[in-house]
Structure 1
């Protein structure tokens, strides 16, 4: 189980624009919505596509391959073709630093 690690600066996150970062050899996606930052796996559970290349609408990220949608707050798959959730990771903000703690498998 990892601890919180600095992964980005809050000032570099553009609202509704996913940012891919690496934490402990895993790629995750940071999404800033208002004053909140969310972190999910950079993997669509339908076919392994890169969620970080998708578009964000409201609190959903849309896989660029087949249009599967995931709630960035919970990881829930919201429409087909995805049926399984993606992992969500804890985020903490300290000043301008964004820290992430990976979820257990």
Structure 2
């Protein structure tokens, strides 16, 4: 488990409806951060169905869902749970915080 927080971007660079990707400084895990109406959520940037980046897919801030472009699996960005086939396993959710105008995440597994 990493205790080190990784800088993603400034709050000005992650507007509502947008997502950004960073790599955890300790584990190297790709983490996608989603801005859903001002609330920030962080998930591992990897579909649980097949090894593919969720950030390449479509983020729908109104429903809070991200869709994998490979096979159409959808996940809730708030908790990482799989919402439809072909994904049945959730995606790892990570803590995100804002400090001094900076968005920070970490792999806390």
What's the TM-score once normalised by structure 1's chain length? 0.91
What is the aligned length?
104
Give the structure with the higher percent strand. 1
Do the aligned residues in 2 keep the contact of 1:90 with 1:102 (CA within 8 Å)?
yes
Q: List runs of 5+ in structure 2 lacking aligned partners.
A: none
The residue that corresponds to 1:96 in the other structure is 101
The residue that corresponds to 1:64 in the other structure is 69
Could you list the per-position Cα deviations for residues 62-89 of structure 1 after superposition, in whole angstroms to 9, with x for gaps in the alignment? Answer: 0011110001111100000000000000
The residue that corresponds to 1:2 in the other structure is 2
> After TM superposition, what 4+ stretches of structure 1 lie above 6 angstroms from structure 2?
none
**Could you say what the CA RMSD is over the residues aligned between the two structures, in angstroms?**
1.2
Q: List runs of 5+ in structure 1 lacking aligned partners.
A: none
| 3-state secondary structure, aligned to 2:40 | strand
Deviation at 1:97, TM superposition (A): 0.6
What's the TM-score once normalised by structure 2's chain length? 0.88
